[in-house]
Amino acid sequence: MPDSILSSSAALAEGLHEEMARDETICIVGEDLVAHAGIFGQFKGLPESFPGRIIDTPISESAIIGLGLGSALTGLRPVVDLHFSDFVTCCMDELVNQTAKIRYMLGGQVKIPMVIWCPDGAGIRAAAQHSQSLEAWFVHTPGLKVVVPSEPADVKGLIKTAIRDDDPVMFFQHKKLFAKEGPVPAGDVTIPLGQAAVKRPGRDVTLICYGSGYYLCEEAAGKLEGLKIGAEVVDLRTLKPLDMHTVAGSIRKTNRAVIVHEACLTGGFGAELAARIQEQLFDDLKAPVKRVAAKDVPVPFSPSLEDYVLPQVSDVVEAVRSIVNR
C-alpha cells in the first residue's frame, strides 16, 4: 500500500489503533482521553473503537504511573499519558524508584511492558512550567528506555515497537510537531529501538539530532549547501539504547560533529554524546565537537524571549562554520 500523508498526531493514533486491534492487553490511561481525545487530538477515534480500554483518570500523576505499573505487572500493556512531560516531576518516585527498577530487583521474573507517553518541548508559548525537554533525566536512569521521534513515520514506527517492548519506555513527542505532516507507511511497519537514521547525506560535517532538533538541522543543512558545505543529518530517534555505530560511521566520513537539541545546554544529552564521541572517535575528529542547545534559563512566556532562549537555525549554521573554517 502507498504511504499516507499524516500529521504526527494522526500517525500516533494510527499506530495505537493498529496495536490495540492486534493485542487486547493494550490499554491507554490518563487525563481527558475519552472526553477530549487527548489535548493534541492524538487519541482521536480510539475510545469509540476500543470501549473500556481507554481510561480517564483523576489528576494525579503518581496514581497514573502507579496504575500503569500495576497493570503491567499483572499482564497488561499500558500506554500511560502524562499530558505534559513537565508533570513527570509529580511522579518521579513511581517512575525512577519503582517502574525502572522492579524488573531488575525481582531478577527478571516479571516484565514491565509499559509506555510512558510524554509531550515535551517549547515553542508554543506555554511558559516555564509547560515547555521543558527533560529526556536527559531518564537516559540517566538505568531500567528505562528513551525514545524521541521527529517525523510522523518515526512516531508511528516507534510507538508500535515501544508498546511491544517488555521494558518501560519513555516516549517523548514534541508538542510543536503534532501538526507536522509527512509520509507514513501503511500497515505493520516498526522501527527497532536503538536504530538511528541518516536522513541527509553530507561530506563535511555531521549534524546529530533528535525530536525538534531534526527540523533545525534539515533547514540548516539546506542553508549550508548554499555555502558549499555538505552537512550529513543523523536523526538518533532513540537515545537509550543509543546507535553509536551509525554516529561513528558518519563522523569517520565527515570528521566533524555538531550536536543539536532543544534541551538546555548544561547536563543535556548532548554532553553525554559529546563525551562518547571524544572517547571513541578522537583520532577521527578535525575539530572539537560543538553543541547547539537552549540557554540555561527557564523558558520565558514572552514570544521574543522564548525564541531568544531556544536554539535557532542560525545557531546551527554558525556552529558548523566555526569548525569547518578552522
The answer to whether residues 65 and 202 belong to one domain is no
Answer yes or no: are the C-beta atoms of 178 and 116 closer than 8 Å.
Answer: no
Does residue 62 sit within a domain? yes
The answer to whether residues 129 and 253 belong to one domain is no
Phi, psi (deg, nearest 5) at residue 151: -80, 155
Q: How many domains does the chain have?
A: 2
pLDDT at 36 over 80: no
User: CB under 8 Å to 170, separation ≥6 — which residues?
Assistant: 116, 118, 135, 138, 144, 145, 146, 147
In 3D space, the residue among 124, 178, 121 whose CA is nearest the CA of residue 151 turns out to be 178
Does residue 20 sit within a domain? yes
From 159, 184, 209, the end of a domain falls on: 184
The answer to whether residues 87 and 154 belong to one domain is yes
**pLDDT band for position 40 (50/70/90)?**
confident
pTM: 0.95
Does residue 189 sit within a domain? no
Give me the CATH number covering residue 230.
3.40.50.920
In 3D space, the residue among 101, 174, 111 whose CA is nearest the CA of residue 144 turns out to be 101
- By residue range, what is the domain housing residue 246? 197-324
Amino acid code (one letter) for 44: K
Does residue 190 sit within a domain? no
The predicted structure's pLDDT at residue 1: 60
**Exactly one of 17, 36, 130, 261 is catalytic; which is it?**
130
Q: For the chain, first and last CA: distance in Å?
A: 49
Helix or strand holding residue 209 (H, E): strand 205-209
Does residue 251 sit within a domain? yes
**pLDDT band for position 313 (50/70/90)?**
very high
Query: Among this protein's residues, is 261 annotated catalytic?
Result: no
In 3D space, the residue among 62, 178, 172, 45 whose CA is nearest the CA of residue 115 turns out to be 172
Does residue 191 sit within a domain? no
Q: What is the pLDDT of residues 282-305, one digit of tens each?
A: 999 999 999 999 999 999 999 999
